[in-house]
Structure 1
């Protein structure tokens, strides 16, 4: 279940309803999908074959199509990152820069853990959204953020896009951001 840490105050927010309420106020979509639907052999598997990726997408087909229909997403895929991913440190460096997109950045976590660092309203400032299996988040277009892995260094997520080519990160320079 997602948990939030507000960086300015170190306040933590937990519980599905509380997390959803906070993120809604920050214009960030949050949902939770039923992880018990996923075959047990995929719960903690971070290197996936094409067949396993297809199985994962098939398992969550109804949820993906529902979200896509409500939000205008047209294509989706699977991203799987772990210590087995070639050049993982270099890949993470690319992710770990504050940026924006011209469309939402959507992740539905199916295994592992990850964290979005998002710039909230002026009062809130930056906050961390720690995600685990079942958590679904959509950071709206134009909202400064970045994504990285947590200490486990492993995640599998469904990504949804409006543009078939996926999103492009536009760097966001913010002197107020502190890692």
Structure 2
């Protein structure tokens, strides 16, 4: 289940309803899918074949199509990252810069863990959303954020897009942002 850490105060928010309510106030969509639906052999697998990816998409087809219909998403795919991913550290450097997009950034975590760092309202500042299997998040267009892996450096997620080419990151400079993850 997702957990939130507000960076300015170190306050932690736990529990599905509390997380959902906080994120709703920050205009971020949060849902939870049943991760146990996924075949056991895929629940901890982070190097995926095309067949594995197709099986994940098939398993969550109903949830994906429901979310897509409600939010206007047109296409989706799977991203899998782990220490086995070629050039993982270089890839993460691209992710680990605050940026915005001209469409939502959506992730439905099917295995592993990841973290979104999001700029909230002025009274909240930046906050971390720690995600695990079953957590679904949609960061709205133009909201400054970035996504990275947690200490386990393993994640599989469904990504949904409005534009069929996927999204493009637009750098966001913010003097108030500290990349301190502690």
Deviations 1:34-60 (A, max 9, x none): 011100000000000000000000000
Q: Partner of 1:121 in structure 2?
A: 121
Q: What is the distance in 2 between the residues matched to 1:164 and 1:4?
A: 31
Equivalent residues in 2 for 1:28-107, closer than 5 Å: 28-107=28-107
TM-score between both structures, scaled by the size of structure 1: 1.00
Query: SS of the counterpart of 2:102?
Result: coil
- Segments of 5+ residues of structure 2 without an aligned counterpart are none
Deviations 1:65-97 (A, max 9, x none): 000000000000000000000000000000000
Aligned residues: 179
Q: What is the distance in 1 between the residues matched to 2:34 and 2:67?
A: 14
Equivalent residues in 2 for 1:142-153, closer than 5 Å: 142-153=142-153
Q: What is the distance in 1 between the residues matched to 2:111 and 2:37?
A: 12
Query: SS of the counterpart of 1:69?
Result: helix
RMSD of aligned alpha carbons: 0.2
TM-superposed CA distance for 1:151, in Å, is: 0.1
- Segments of 5+ residues of structure 1 without an aligned counterpart are none
